[in-house]
Structures are given as C-alpha cells and as structure tokens.
Amino acid sequence: MLLVSPNGVYKTLVRHGLNTRSKRLALVAGYRAPYEPPRDPLPEPHIDTNRPGELVGIDCYFVGRLHGANGPVWQITAIDDRGVPTDRGDDETRALLQLAHAVRSRRGIAGLSQEALADRSGLHRTYVGGIERGERNVSLINLLRLAGALDVSVAELVEGIELGIHHG
C-alpha cells in the first residue's frame, strides 16, 4: 500500500502550478475534447479449438531483478481452452461439445456476438458462453430461446447429436 501525505500532494500540485482550487477547476473546466464520430465496435476476439485443454496462447515478460533471486525474474503465462467438467460421462460430454459447436457455428453464420445472442435469446451472456464451451446442460426452454434467436429450429440445432443410451 502506498501512503502519500497531504503535504506531499500539495507539493506536487505546486510543482505543476495547480496549488489553488481555482487553477485546478480551470484546468478541468477549460478542457474540451474535440468531437469524434462514434466508432464501429471491434469484432469479438474468438479462438476455435478442437478439444478441451488445448493450448491457445503463451506469454512471457520480464518482471525485473529481485533481491535474493539468482538472475532476472520472468513471468510466463499459458492459456488453454478450459475443459469440460469431468463428472459427466464421455457420451454426455461429447453431446454437450457437439451442441456447443453447433451454437457457436450458427452464431458465427448469423454474425452475432455472444452478447448479441444473449440479448436476443433473453439469456445471460456468461450462460451463453458456458453453452458454447460445452459446460452447460441446456434445458428445452433455453434451447427454444437459442434456436429462435438464431432463426433455426431446435431440430436443426441438435441435428446429429446423439447420446449413447442403451436399454436392456
């Protein structure tokens, strides 16, 4: 935690010629940013992976030299595609990942961001993200909402998805 005394703040303000309230207010009130037209939103960053746990990014940067450490200190960060919870069976996991792929690809075809799909379907953005990662077991009502927002039928959305349930 950084502690700054009021006297230290005052000395900084004096150094920059802002030691009176009127000078500080004039600085704020006198500035007006030039008009810029609104910008188009940037495309949502997205990485497709083939399987859970796949490495999608790695970053390394110099932190500095620390007392007691031999040599420089570097921080390495690795990012992977978070896996599906392991408490499901293989067939269930496969079915959820197939649905995730179907929703993600239909959303891409429709040109929607996750947030736009969430708004159109009445679902929360993080819930839609969980569906697209294969983490959510979606109810029928939410499937109907997603299909409606994507302008497809539920049958088209779940086409080819089977769960290997054997009776007998």
What are the beta bridge partners of residue 61? Answer: 75
Please say if the pLDDT value at position 152 is more than 90.
Answer: yes
* Closest C-alpha among 81, 77, 85, 79 to residue 104: 81
More confident residue, 73 or 29: 73
More confident residue, 58 or 156: 156
Express as a percent the part of the chain with pLDDT over 90.
30
Please give the mean pLDDT across all residues of the chain.
78
Q: Calculate the dihedral angle through the C-alpha atoms of 31, 37, 43, 44, rounding to the nearest 10 degrees.
A: 40
Is the pTM higher than 0.75? The answer reads no
* R_g of the chain computed on alpha carbons: 26
More confident residue, 66 or 160: 160
More confident residue, 129 or 42: 129
Instruction: Give the CATH class of 90-157.
Output: mainly alpha
- The domain ranges of the chain are 49-83, 90-157
78-83's contacts with Cβ under 8 Å and 24+ in sequence apart are: 79/55, 80/53, 80/54, 80/55, 80/56, 81/47, 81/49, 81/51, 81/52, 81/53, 81/54, 81/56, 81/133, 82/52, 82/53, 82/133, 83/52, 83/53
